């Protein structure tokens, strides 16, 4: 049981940041939206369609319009950077090789890695890998891009580059973006709409300025990074006992 009565709207054409402490199921939310996981109850509508009631082939068609940037980048380790970005194009379009090459180089250029096209994923730094993954996620010009913890484990420069790229992407082509993160500053700086999850509930929703102005104790604790508060510093012992007795 991860969520209780979670209900949220992702506005089209804007950047929505979903934030919350670790372990509140932010990644699970993305997997639910992409129908990689199925909910026990409830519905998720993507572009007006109940995504969990679609047939396999319809689902795959919807997914062509969704790009996802995984936490680890998830570049295919047996393909070069170029082949990685070209892969979704080869799978889902009937473009000829020269057109694919043009699109791939253009996408790589937009993330600043045109020169790295021939490298293998193992030869890239973490920040570069994430940028390649971003290029791959937008190769098919999706309507919705989901970013799973894009800033985690990045140095400040890479973070800045990624923030800039996500911003540009949204401004340039009006893509709907969902950014899942617990990096408060970066998220608030790019988001048009913020939603904070905690303990299975949506505890705050609104524009970044509203969130900053919130006087909810939980929201304040999360934004300011206070060690103790409504989310206790001490892990409750009763939970452990309960989990053990269930086994």
What residue ranges bind other proteins (CB under 8 A)? 31, 34, 36, 60-61, 63-64, 66-68, 70-78, 87-88, 90-92
Nearer to other proteins (CB atom), residue 45 or residue 76: 76
* Smallest separation, CB 51 to other proteins (Å): 13
Nearer to other proteins (CB atom), residue 73 or residue 150: 73
Nearer to other proteins (CB atom), residue 61 or residue 102: 61
* Smallest separation, CB 36 to other proteins (Å): 6
Nearer to other proteins (CB atom), residue 63 or residue 196: 63
Nearer to other proteins (CB atom), residue 90 or residue 221: 90
Nearer to other proteins (CB atom), residue 71 or residue 152: 71
* Smallest separation, CB 174 to other proteins (Å): 21
* Smallest separation, CB 76 to other proteins (Å): 6
Asked whether 79 and 177 are in contact (CB, 8 A), the reply is no
First-to-final CA distance of the chain: 16
Residue position matching structure tokens 């892969």: 87
* Smallest separation, CB 211 to other proteins (Å): 29
Asked whether 201 and 4 are in contact (CB, 8 A), the reply is yes
* Smallest separation, CB 66 to other proteins (Å): 7
Using alpha carbons, list the distances in angstroms from residue 19 to 22, 69, 81, 169: 9, 16, 30, 20
Nearer to other proteins (CB atom), residue 101 or residue 192: 101
Tokens describing residue 245: 């007795």
Listing from the earlier edge strand, what are the strands of the sheet with 201-206?
66-69, 144-148, 176-181, 15-19, 193-198, 201-206
* Smallest separation, CB 164 to other proteins (Å): 24
Question: Which residues have a Cβ under 8 Å from the Cβ of 38 and sit 6 or more positions away?
Answer: 32, 52
- β-sheet bridge partners, residue 178: 16, 146
């Amino acid at each position: 049981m991860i969520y209780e009565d979670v209900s949220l709207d992702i506005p089209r054409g804007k950047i929505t940041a979903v934030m919350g402490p670790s372990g509140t199921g932010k990644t699970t939310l993305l997997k639910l939206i992409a129908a990689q996981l199925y909910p026990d109850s409830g519905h998720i509508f993507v572009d007006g369609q109940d995504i969990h009631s679609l047939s396999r082939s319809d689902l795959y068609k919807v997914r062509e319009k969704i790009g996802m940037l995984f936490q680890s980048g998830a570049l295919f380790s047996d393909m070069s950077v170029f082949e990685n970005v070209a892969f979704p194009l080869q799978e889902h379009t009937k473009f000829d090789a020269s057109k694919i090459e043009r699109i791939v180089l253009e996408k790589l250029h937009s993330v600043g890695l045109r020169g790295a096209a021939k490298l293998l994923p193992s030869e890239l730094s973490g920040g570069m890998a994430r940028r390649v993954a971003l290029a791959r996620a937008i190769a098919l010009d999706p309507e919705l891009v989901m970013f799973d913890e894009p800033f985690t484990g990045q140095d400040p420069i890479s973070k800045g580059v990624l923030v800039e790229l996500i911003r540009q992407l949204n401004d340039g082509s009006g893509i709907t973006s969902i950014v899942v993160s617990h990096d408060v500053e970066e998220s608030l700086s790019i988001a048009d709409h913020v939603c904070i999850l905690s303990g299975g509930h949506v505890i705050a929703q609104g524009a970044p300025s509203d969130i900053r102005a919130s006087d909810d104790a939980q929201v304040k604790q999360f934004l300011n990074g206070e060690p103790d508060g409504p989310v206790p510093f001490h892990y409750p012992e009763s939970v452990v006992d309960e989990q053990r007795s269930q086994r």
